[in-house]
Amino acid sequence: MRFQGRVILVTGASRGIGAAIARAFAAEGGIVVVNYRTNEAAAEAVAAECRTLGGEALTVAADVTSAEAVAAMAQRIAEEAGRLDAVVNNAFAPYRFDPDRRARFWETPWEAYGRQFDGAVKATYTVCQAMLPLLRRRSGASIVNLASDLVARPSIAYHDYATAKAALIGFSRNLAAELGPLGIRVNCVAPGLVYPTDASAATPEEVRETLIAQTPLRRIATPADVAGPVLFLAGEGSGFVTGQVLHVDGGLVMA
Protein backbone atom coordinates (compact mmCIF):
# COMPACT_ATOMS: atom_id res chain seq x y z
CA MET A 1 0.00 0.00 0.00
CA ARG A 2 2.20 2.78 -1.34
CA PHE A 3 0.09 5.66 -0.05
CA GLN A 4 -1.16 4.25 3.25
CA GLY A 5 -2.03 7.16 5.53
CA ARG A 6 -0.96 9.78 2.99
CA VAL A 7 -3.27 12.62 2.00
CA ILE A 8 -3.63 13.46 -1.68
CA LEU A 9 -5.64 16.30 -3.20
CA VAL A 10 -6.94 15.58 -6.70
CA THR A 11 -8.62 18.53 -8.39
CA GLY A 12 -11.41 17.93 -10.86
CA ALA A 13 -11.86 14.44 -9.45
CA SER A 14 -15.60 13.94 -9.87
CA ARG A 15 -15.24 12.36 -13.33
CA GLY A 16 -12.93 11.17 -16.07
CA ILE A 17 -9.19 11.20 -15.52
CA GLY A 18 -9.47 12.83 -12.10
CA ALA A 19 -11.84 10.15 -10.85
CA ALA A 20 -9.53 7.39 -12.13
CA ILE A 21 -6.59 9.01 -10.33
CA ALA A 22 -8.56 9.32 -7.10
CA ARG A 23 -9.56 5.65 -7.24
CA ALA A 24 -5.97 4.58 -7.93
CA PHE A 25 -4.65 6.44 -4.89
CA ALA A 26 -7.41 4.95 -2.74
CA ALA A 27 -6.54 1.44 -3.90
CA GLU A 28 -3.05 2.08 -2.52
CA GLY A 29 -4.39 3.14 0.87
CA GLY A 30 -4.46 6.88 0.26
CA ILE A 31 -6.67 9.46 1.93
CA VAL A 32 -8.06 11.23 -1.13
CA VAL A 33 -9.49 14.73 -1.20
CA VAL A 34 -11.94 14.62 -4.10
CA ASN A 35 -12.25 18.18 -5.35
CA TYR A 36 -15.15 19.17 -7.57
CA ARG A 37 -16.78 22.39 -8.73
CA THR A 38 -20.52 21.73 -9.03
CA ASN A 39 -21.45 18.04 -9.32
CA GLU A 40 -21.69 16.97 -5.69
CA ALA A 41 -23.44 13.69 -6.47
CA ALA A 42 -20.69 12.59 -8.86
CA ALA A 43 -17.98 13.55 -6.36
CA GLU A 44 -19.70 11.63 -3.57
CA ALA A 45 -19.96 8.61 -5.85
CA VAL A 46 -16.21 8.74 -6.51
CA ALA A 47 -15.54 9.09 -2.79
CA ALA A 48 -17.72 6.04 -2.09
CA GLU A 49 -15.73 4.05 -4.65
CA CYS A 50 -12.50 5.17 -2.98
CA ARG A 51 -13.72 3.82 0.35
CA THR A 52 -14.76 0.54 -1.25
CA LEU A 53 -11.25 0.19 -2.67
CA GLY A 54 -9.73 0.46 0.80
CA GLY A 55 -8.83 4.13 1.01
CA GLU A 56 -10.45 7.09 2.71
CA ALA A 57 -12.05 10.03 0.94
CA LEU A 58 -13.24 13.56 1.57
CA THR A 59 -15.19 15.62 -0.98
CA VAL A 60 -14.59 19.36 -1.16
CA ALA A 61 -16.33 21.78 -3.52
CA ALA A 62 -14.10 24.58 -4.82
CA ASP A 63 -13.64 26.49 -8.05
CA VAL A 64 -9.87 26.12 -8.38
CA THR A 65 -9.53 29.49 -10.13
CA SER A 66 -10.93 31.24 -7.03
CA ALA A 67 -8.32 32.11 -4.40
CA GLU A 68 -11.01 32.38 -1.73
CA ALA A 69 -12.53 28.98 -2.52
CA VAL A 70 -9.14 27.27 -2.65
CA ALA A 71 -8.04 28.89 0.61
CA ALA A 72 -11.19 27.51 2.23
CA MET A 73 -10.38 24.07 0.80
CA ALA A 74 -6.87 24.25 2.25
CA GLN A 75 -8.30 25.17 5.63
CA ARG A 76 -10.68 22.23 5.53
CA ILE A 77 -7.87 19.82 4.61
CA ALA A 78 -5.80 21.17 7.49
CA GLU A 79 -8.68 20.75 9.93
CA GLU A 80 -9.89 17.31 8.82
CA ALA A 81 -6.68 15.62 7.66
CA GLY A 82 -3.96 17.66 9.33
CA ARG A 83 -1.49 17.05 6.50
CA LEU A 84 -1.07 17.03 2.74
CA ASP A 85 1.45 14.83 0.96
CA ALA A 86 0.62 15.32 -2.72
CA VAL A 87 -1.37 17.56 -5.02
CA VAL A 88 -2.59 16.48 -8.44
CA ASN A 89 -3.71 19.45 -10.53
CA ASN A 90 -6.10 17.82 -12.97
CA ALA A 91 -8.94 20.37 -13.26
CA PHE A 92 -9.01 22.45 -16.43
CA ALA A 93 -11.35 24.73 -18.34
CA PRO A 94 -14.04 22.91 -20.35
CA TYR A 95 -12.85 21.84 -23.78
CA ARG A 96 -14.05 19.65 -26.64
CA PHE A 97 -11.56 17.74 -28.76
CA ASP A 98 -13.61 18.03 -31.91
CA PRO A 99 -11.34 18.43 -34.97
CA ASP A 100 -14.26 19.18 -37.29
CA ARG A 101 -15.63 22.06 -35.20
CA ARG A 102 -12.41 23.37 -33.68
CA ALA A 103 -11.59 27.04 -34.17
CA ARG A 104 -8.71 27.66 -36.53
CA PHE A 105 -6.12 30.22 -35.47
CA TRP A 106 -7.78 32.99 -37.48
CA GLU A 107 -11.07 32.17 -35.80
CA THR A 108 -9.73 32.02 -32.23
CA PRO A 109 -10.14 35.20 -30.17
CA TRP A 110 -7.60 36.04 -27.50
CA GLU A 111 -10.32 35.53 -24.89
CA ALA A 112 -10.32 31.82 -25.73
CA TYR A 113 -6.65 31.65 -24.81
CA GLY A 114 -7.42 33.50 -21.60
CA ARG A 115 -10.07 30.97 -20.59
CA GLN A 116 -7.64 28.10 -21.11
CA PHE A 117 -4.82 29.93 -19.29
CA ASP A 118 -7.13 30.44 -16.33
CA GLY A 119 -8.12 26.77 -16.35
CA ALA A 120 -4.58 25.44 -16.68
CA VAL A 121 -2.12 27.94 -15.24
CA LYS A 122 -4.19 30.15 -12.93
CA ALA A 123 -5.88 27.14 -11.36
CA THR A 124 -2.55 25.39 -10.75
CA TYR A 125 -0.99 28.61 -9.43
CA THR A 126 -3.92 29.19 -7.08
CA VAL A 127 -3.91 25.65 -5.72
CA CYS A 128 -0.14 25.54 -5.26
CA GLN A 129 -0.12 28.90 -3.46
CA ALA A 130 -2.81 27.78 -1.03
CA MET A 131 -1.48 24.27 -0.44
CA LEU A 132 2.22 25.14 -0.10
CA PRO A 133 2.13 25.69 3.69
CA LEU A 134 0.66 22.20 4.14
CA LEU A 135 3.08 20.61 1.66
CA ARG A 136 6.07 22.20 3.41
CA ARG A 137 5.19 20.29 6.58
CA ARG A 138 5.79 16.96 4.83
CA SER A 139 9.07 15.31 3.87
CA GLY A 140 9.07 14.38 0.19
CA ALA A 141 5.85 16.11 -0.83
CA SER A 142 4.94 16.10 -4.50
CA ILE A 143 2.96 18.11 -7.05
CA VAL A 144 1.84 16.50 -10.30
CA ASN A 145 0.31 18.70 -13.01
CA LEU A 146 -1.68 17.33 -15.94
CA ALA A 147 -0.36 18.71 -19.22
CA SER A 148 -0.79 17.34 -22.78
CA ASP A 149 1.32 15.68 -25.46
CA LEU A 150 -0.14 18.27 -27.87
CA VAL A 151 2.59 20.62 -26.62
CA ALA A 152 5.28 18.36 -28.11
CA ARG A 153 3.22 16.95 -30.99
CA PRO A 154 0.31 19.14 -32.14
CA SER A 155 -1.26 16.40 -34.23
CA ILE A 156 -4.39 18.54 -34.30
CA ALA A 157 -3.98 22.27 -33.74
CA TYR A 158 -6.08 23.02 -30.68
CA HIS A 159 -4.43 26.41 -30.36
CA ASP A 160 -5.80 27.81 -27.11
CA TYR A 161 -5.74 24.52 -25.19
CA ALA A 162 -2.25 23.43 -26.21
CA THR A 163 -0.75 26.89 -25.70
CA ALA A 164 -2.10 27.00 -22.15
CA LYS A 165 -0.68 23.53 -21.45
CA ALA A 166 2.70 24.67 -22.79
CA ALA A 167 2.60 27.53 -20.30
CA LEU A 168 1.71 25.06 -17.56
CA ILE A 169 4.84 23.05 -18.33
CA GLY A 170 6.97 26.19 -18.09
CA PHE A 171 5.30 27.11 -14.82
CA SER A 172 5.88 23.60 -13.46
CA ARG A 173 9.59 23.61 -14.30
CA ASN A 174 10.11 26.97 -12.60
CA LEU A 175 8.17 25.70 -9.60
CA ALA A 176 10.33 22.57 -9.49
CA ALA A 177 13.49 24.68 -9.42
CA GLU A 178 12.14 26.87 -6.63
CA LEU A 179 10.59 24.18 -4.43
CA GLY A 180 13.32 21.57 -4.83
CA PRO A 181 15.40 22.98 -1.95
CA LEU A 182 12.27 22.70 0.21
CA GLY A 183 12.03 18.98 -0.56
CA ILE A 184 8.96 19.35 -2.80
CA ARG A 185 9.03 17.78 -6.26
CA VAL A 186 7.01 19.08 -9.24
CA ASN A 187 6.40 17.07 -12.41
CA CYS A 188 3.94 16.86 -15.28
CA VAL A 189 2.06 13.97 -16.84
CA ALA A 190 1.24 14.69 -20.49
CA PRO A 191 -1.37 12.32 -21.91
CA GLY A 192 -2.40 12.05 -25.51
CA LEU A 193 -6.06 11.71 -26.36
CA VAL A 194 -7.82 9.90 -23.50
CA TYR A 195 -11.06 8.09 -24.24
CA PRO A 196 -13.72 8.01 -22.97
CA THR A 197 -13.94 11.40 -21.27
CA ASP A 198 -16.33 14.34 -21.63
CA ALA A 199 -13.64 16.25 -23.54
CA SER A 200 -12.99 13.44 -26.04
CA ALA A 201 -16.64 12.49 -26.56
CA ALA A 202 -16.77 14.70 -29.67
CA THR A 203 -13.67 13.15 -31.26
CA PRO A 204 -14.90 11.14 -34.29
CA GLU A 205 -14.10 7.45 -34.45
CA GLU A 206 -12.13 7.89 -37.67
CA VAL A 207 -9.84 10.40 -35.95
CA ARG A 208 -9.32 8.00 -33.06
CA GLU A 209 -8.51 5.23 -35.53
CA THR A 210 -5.96 7.44 -37.28
CA LEU A 211 -4.26 8.16 -33.95
CA ILE A 212 -4.28 4.46 -33.09
CA ALA A 213 -2.57 3.66 -36.40
CA GLN A 214 0.17 6.21 -35.60
CA THR A 215 0.64 5.00 -32.01
CA PRO A 216 3.30 2.31 -31.44
CA LEU A 217 1.15 0.60 -28.78
CA ARG A 218 -1.84 0.70 -31.16
CA ARG A 219 -4.58 2.01 -28.91
CA ILE A 220 -5.95 5.16 -27.25
CA ALA A 221 -5.26 5.84 -23.57
CA THR A 222 -7.99 5.26 -21.00
CA PRO A 223 -8.29 7.32 -17.80
CA ALA A 224 -6.75 4.41 -15.87
CA ASP A 225 -3.66 4.56 -18.11
CA VAL A 226 -3.00 8.09 -16.84
CA ALA A 227 -3.46 7.21 -13.18
CA GLY A 228 -0.46 4.87 -12.94
CA PRO A 229 2.14 7.44 -14.06
CA VAL A 230 0.58 10.04 -11.74
CA LEU A 231 0.99 7.67 -8.78
CA PHE A 232 4.58 6.99 -9.80
CA LEU A 233 5.46 10.70 -9.84
CA ALA A 234 3.64 11.31 -6.55
CA GLY A 235 5.32 8.42 -4.76
CA GLU A 236 8.67 7.46 -3.28
CA GLY A 237 9.74 5.56 -6.40
CA SER A 238 10.32 8.88 -8.18
CA GLY A 239 11.97 10.53 -5.19
CA PHE A 240 14.85 11.91 -7.29
CA VAL A 241 12.70 13.07 -10.22
CA THR A 242 11.56 16.68 -10.58
CA GLY A 243 10.91 19.16 -13.36
CA GLN A 244 10.06 16.39 -15.82
CA VAL A 245 7.28 15.79 -18.33
CA LEU A 246 6.18 12.17 -18.62
CA HIS A 247 4.31 11.54 -21.87
CA VAL A 248 1.54 8.96 -21.60
CA ASP A 249 0.46 8.45 -25.19
CA GLY A 250 1.56 4.97 -26.25
CA GLY A 251 4.73 6.28 -27.87
CA LEU A 252 3.38 9.09 -30.08
CA VAL A 253 5.95 11.38 -28.46
CA MET A 254 9.40 9.94 -27.85
CA ALA A 255 11.82 12.31 -26.17
Closest CA to 145 of 38, 244, 216: 244
Asked if residue 176 lies in contact with residue 124, where contact means CB atoms within 8 angstroms, the answer is no
**Residue 29 burial by CB count (10 A; 0-12/13-18/19+): exposed, middle or buried?**
middle
Hey, what amino acid is at 44? E
> How many residues are listed for the chain in this entry?
255
Check 95, 125, 158, 161 and give the catalytic one.
161
Asked if residue 163 lies in contact with residue 150, where contact means CB atoms within 8 angstroms, the answer is no
Asked if residue 245 lies in contact with residue 147, where contact means CB atoms within 8 angstroms, the answer is yes
CA–CA gap between residue 98 and residue 56 (Å, rounded): 36
Asked if residue 156 lies in contact with residue 252, where contact means CB atoms within 8 angstroms, the answer is no
CA angle, corner 176, sides to 59 and 124, nearest 5?
A: 35
Three-class DSSP category at 160? helix
Catalytic-residue membership of 161: yes
Radius of gyration of the chain (CA): 17
Q: Give the strand pairing for 56-61 and 31-36.
A: parallel
**Residues annotated catalytic, as ranges:** 161
